[in-house]
Amino acid sequence: MIELPFTRVEDAGLVPSGGPARLALSRLPRASEIADAVAAARGVSAWVDGRLVVTAVPSRLIDAAGRVGGRELADLVAGTVEPAVAAWLGGYPDLPVSEGGPFPTSQRPLVMGIVNVTPDSFSDGGAHYDARDHPGTAVRHGQALLAAGADILDIGGESTRPGAAPVDVEEELARVIPVIEALVADGATISIDTTKGRVAREAVAAGAAVVNDVSAGAYDPELLPAVAELGVPYILMHLRGTPLTMQHQAEYTDVVGEVFDFLADRLDQLDRIGIPREQVVVDPGIGFAKTAGHNLLLLRRLREFTSLGRPLMIGTSRKAFLGHVTGGDPEDRLIGSVTSAALAVSAGARIVRAHDVAETVQALALAHAVATAGDE
């Protein structure tokens, strides 16, 4: 099987007027020869961390590939470059769900409210989980987030903070299923935050509409087959290692390129096992196996991830890298959280995962209004 190349668009602002784009291509067959052909056509190319970075009119890059490898190679390059550029330029897709119509990510950014049904999550562990009043405390919190404007509630029964230990599947189910059932009865759209196939199955049976998996399917071999069978939207996140080990694996030569290529490769793999990319959301995994500097750079260059052509989710809420910049404990990071959320939406994020829903709803409304000002 031929591995398809990946195109990450760094800048395509001049393309609508016939100008060049700056593109980073990975896994490109005959890349050195294509680079020479681009140079002969007065384009610019360079090798950056093993990727061919080309500044050229996209059609000239495709023509250069054709001169090197004929129609077959030209079609291969066109098949990766053209959709990536189109995605970068705009036109966010909706996300299909099985009931109630699609999530309107093409129209506006959505807020995903966090319901941690755990005693040990980094920010609010135990605040919304009381074993003596279960599921009441968590349900009331979810209802409050809905009233504050949350579009989706993300319910998780296992902490994924750095250093967190895994939770037994029975305990995770006991935490999340009663909360899902109660909030679905209130009309909520639910995402189940889990890495386990059995939890995903039982959560969807209880009414959850989305599976949010920080592991990209790496922790439980039953998770991805379950998602394929269930046919629900799937949130694909970048992570290295486990919550216990991930911060020891935060080493990258090019964090943006490496995270992008991981997500692009995983999208291809998911498609082959029956999870079509049309039902996938991508998440670069802010705070997961990343240093503060990595997280800030990913936010700065977030627009490049729109090249994947899928709705982009970001979760920066109350995370440690915000404290690295502004100081303060998790509960003191509200301004940093909503500022980073607004920046993410300005760069193309379509779902923002947040603890402080009311404030995030306001911030995203303004960011979206600014981003679309003057559009017809």
By annotation, the residues acting in catalysis are 319, 353
Average per-residue pLDDT for the chain: 92
Per-residue pLDDT, averaged over 70-94, amounts to: 94
Q: Which residues pair with 113 in a beta bridge?
A: 153, 354
Task: Say if residue 123's pLDDT is above 60.
Answer: no
Token pair listed for 336:
């940093």
Domain extent listing, the chain? 6-89, 110-372
Tell me the DSSP string of 68-136: HHHHHHHHHHHHHHHHHHHHHHS-PPPB--SSS--B-TTTS-EEEEEEE-SS--TTTTTTT--GGGTTH
Q: What percent of the chain has pLDDT over 70?
A: 94
Strand, helix or coil for residue 155 = strand
State the DSSP string of 293-316: HHHHHHHHTGGGGGGG-S-BEE--
Q: Which CATH number fits domain 110-372: 3.40.50.1820, 3.40.50.720, 3.30.1370.60, 3.20.20.20?
A: 3.20.20.20
| Distance of alpha carbon 83 from alpha carbon 309, whole angstroms | 7
- pLDDT score recorded for residue 331: 82
Q: Answer yes or no: is pLDDT of 317 > 70.
A: yes
Q: Which string of DSSP letters, residue by residue, matches 211-256?
A: EEETTTT-S-TTHHHHHHHHT--EEEE---S-TTTGGGG---SSHH
Residues β-bridged to residue 352: 111, 314
Q: Report the helix count and the strand count for the chain, using DSSP H and E.
A: 11, 12
**How do residues 267-287 score in pLDDT, each as one tens digit?**
999 999 999 999 999 999 999
